[in-house]
Chain A
Amino acid sequence: MVADDDLAESLKLAIAGDEAGFAVLWRSLQPAILRYLRVVVGGAAEDVASETWLQAARDLRGFDGGVPAFRAWLFRIARHRGIDELRRTGRRREESTDSLEERAARSPVRDVAAEVLEEMDTAWALELIATLPQHQAEAVMLRVVAGLDVASTAQVLGRRAGAVRVATMRGLRRLAADPRVRARDGGVGSGDAAAASASEGM
């Protein structure tokens, strides 16, 4: 993941309309946006993420702030787009239409087995997080995966900072108690591999 200092330059460029700058922002934030939306709207995540970026692009000219503010701003757009989607479809989450097995079977042969496994791991983790009560799931995703601080998360969710901390804690508690999570301990190869880069923060 790109450090905030490097992103700051790209953000400036993107605000001025530069596509290369925008591309850097997109590469750096799209995975987290997509995963967050995966938890919020399930199978519609990719479409909602596209809408999120379109709206951000439309309004970027007037943006006046640093990288942390931009990140919070972008996730707030994503959240509103996601809520719109849920209202429109009238359900909490649209389940992904294809199972992990189908996706694995479809993925090109050239994919390294490890990468497929890792994708499946990530999808599995997101599915579990999505089973949490919505505000806990969102808090966990924004804090842990998107790397937002408490204040930014509170801003995105429209809640108080204290409520965000509690929601995150309760979400983690539930996950820790989930038998599927407990059973998963140890047998994870890619999780360990991911730990090094993940701990640098997304």
Chain B
Amino acid sequence: MRWRRALWGAMRTWRPGRIGLTEADRLVAGDPPSPGYPGLGALLNMAKAPASEEELAGERAAVAGFAAAYRGAVPASVPRGRRSAWVPLSAKGVAVKVAAGVAVLAVGGTAAAETGNLPAGAQQRAHRMFSSLGVPAADSGGRSTGAGPAGVAGSVRPSTSAVPTPRAGGTTPRSSDPATLAQCEAWDAEREDPRGKAMTAQAHRALFAVAGGQSRVPAFCAALLTPSPDGRPSAGVAPAHPGAATATPSHPGGQGTANGNGNGHPTPGSHQESHGTP
């Protein structure tokens, strides 16, 4: 009995020792591990290596998405009507660039990759994001190359096409289709509460078909369900700076959940609010 305990003790001291809380905290802080753990430091350093080009390739699409989604976060009191028009100018700038990128992709599939303008990952992602728009290549190319004052006015349309809003497609009356909207709402409700009333497989398929594939549904529906404030001045009178958007009273205390007090879903209130607008 005693020898067994002694042997056990010896084994414990002989082994490099399992990582304890203190050692774990050291490792988390970035300190090199004790010699007893070969490979661990290397592994952790690989996991937190600096960002790769591919990881950052989606920036333009992300910023375009931000512009659209942020716009949709306008308080519910803003009347919702014709979905169009009010886009901050800087969003247009981004949008025109993105639209130009789409044109490049649409016109010459591999051209962008050859010229090195877009990393392969970005190209794929952009293609995935925008191919649901159905924008004719020649058409969008012509619009996005418009320059000068006329170009700015002309850019309003392509700019809405930069966010995955189907109505900009021109070929697609489907966004005004209440059935599609309802499908998106059902899909969104299903995502929020998977145990709730499920969509039929047929409804799923229909929505996937309209969105251009299952993977495109989130962007498709996000654009469709995001209410945009109307009654706003359109292009010509639009605020010259995105900062002007802050003129809209943001409701700082309105979303306590947004500030992280550890309860359930991040921001259930605002999420529904942006969808439930009549």
Contact = CB atoms under 8 A, between A and B. Distances in A.
A57 B119 contact: no
B125 interface: yes
A201 B48 CA distance: 8
A59 B267 CA distance: 7
B246 A80 contact: no
Nearest to B54: A119
B65 A54 contact: yes
Contacts of B28: 143-144, 168
A57 B91 CA distance: 14
A14 B91 CA distance: 13
A23 interface: yes
Interface in A146-174: 147, 154-155, 158, 165-166, 168-169, 172-173
A61 B75 CA distance: 10
Contact of B38 (A87, A106, A182): A182
Interface stretch (B150-158, B176-184, B251-259): B251-259
Interface residues of B, number: 82
Interface in B13-44: 18-21, 23-25, 27-28, 30, 33, 37-44
B172 interface: no
A143 B47 CA distance: 12
A18 B51 CA distance: 23
Given A58-B271, A169-B20, A190-B46, A50 B69 contact: no
B66 interface: yes
Contacts of A201: 30
A188 interface: yes
Interface in A96-123: 106-108, 110-111, 115, 118-119, 121-122
B274 interface: yes
Contacts of B69: 54-55, 57-58
Contacts of A62: 73, 250-252, 254-255, 258, 267, 270
Given A19-B63, A77-B266, A87-B194, A115 B19 contact: no
A195 B242 contact: no
Contacts, number: 254
A69 interface: yes
A31 B58 CA distance: 11
Contact of B222 (A54, A72, A118, A144): A54
A77 B258 CA distance: 10
Given A165-B21, A185-B39, A192-B45, A30 B56 contact: yes
B212 interface: no
Interface string A72-96: 1100110010001001100000000
B52 interface: yes
Contacts of A72: 260
- Per DSSP, chain B at the interface is helix
A47 interface: yes
14 contacts: A19-B242, A22-B62, A22-B66, A31-B51, A47-B218, A55-B267, A62-B255, A107-B120, A119-B54, A172-B27, A173-B18, A183-B39, A186-B38, A191-B41
Contact of A124 (B46, B91, B120, B265): B46
A184 B44 CA distance: 12
A119 B52 contact: yes
A162 to B, nearest CB: 9
Interface in A63-77: 63-65, 69, 72-73, 76-77
Given A30-B56, A186-B38, A198-B45, A57 B260 contact: no
B73 A60 contact: yes
Contacts of B191: 84, 88
